[in-house]
Copies of this chain bind each other. A is one copy, B any other.
């Protein structure tokens, strides 16, 4: 058959987790599926370099490990999609933790020829959410970065976010990835971003508050 599933063979919660998640690409597939069901093609395009055969193999492994399942979207657009199971969705806490650790590695600079997708950055920002600074705030932010729409809603000290429009967002941000990163990493000021027209709805104070609640620079 395909994979002999090389196991660490250790009775340890970490080792058992790595037996399932440790193979190359697996966690990046989970990352992609965190923002909703995706077609084979979508995954292939987001995961530059994976090769169709390996993607296919991984998805099957993940299916048999109860991380994803295959379903069909209802019309219009009847397409087979891959979706996270409930078990798989429970990995969000772990992935956010890994993202938080990885943010300083971005070093405020994108290497030449490195790939970027706006939702990677938006998830990174989400991972820096600071509940204690969000107490008493109830706001919705909508980001349109490089054409990808994402929103975050802060309510009762918690945040939720996904790739969709927000309901009556208090802040609407529109820019490309570069300008978004510049703001997130403090390379530009909210005032300048506002003057540049990146803010379609909302004001400078709102961006400043948002940046306090999500602060990658502190990571």
Contacts and interface: CB of A to CB of B under 8 A. Distances in A.
Interface of A: 6, 8-18, 20-22, 24, 27-28, 31, 48-49, 90-91, 93-95, 97-103, 105-106, 110-111, 113-117, 120-121, 123-124, 127
A14 B94 contact: no
Given A18-B27, A24-B22, A28-B18, A12 B121 contact: yes
Contacts of A113: 9
Given A22-B24, A93-B97, A120 B17 contact: no
A127 B94 contact: no
Given A11-B114, A14-B98, 14 more contacts: A6-B24, A9-B48, A9-B49, A9-B113, A10-B117, A10-B120, A11-B120, A12-B116, A12-B124, A13-B103, A16-B105, A91-B101, A93-B97, A94-B98
Nearest to A98: B17
A93 B114 CA distance: 28
A91 B24 CA distance: 20
Given A94-B101, A97-B97, A101-B94, A120 B9 contact: no
Contact of A13 (B20, B24, B99, B111): B99
A14 B90 contact: no
Contacts of A93: 97, 100-101
B106 A16 contact: yes
A30 to B, nearest CB: 9
Contact of A120 (B14, B101, B110): B14
Given A101-B91, A120-B15, A114 B27 contact: no
A197 to B, nearest CB: 24
Contacts of A99: 13-14, 17
B8 A28 contact: yes
Contacts of A28: 8, 10, 14-15, 18
Closest 9 CB pairs of A and B: A13-B102, A17-B102, A12-B120, A16-B105, A13-B99, A13-B124, A94-B97, A11-B116, A11-B110
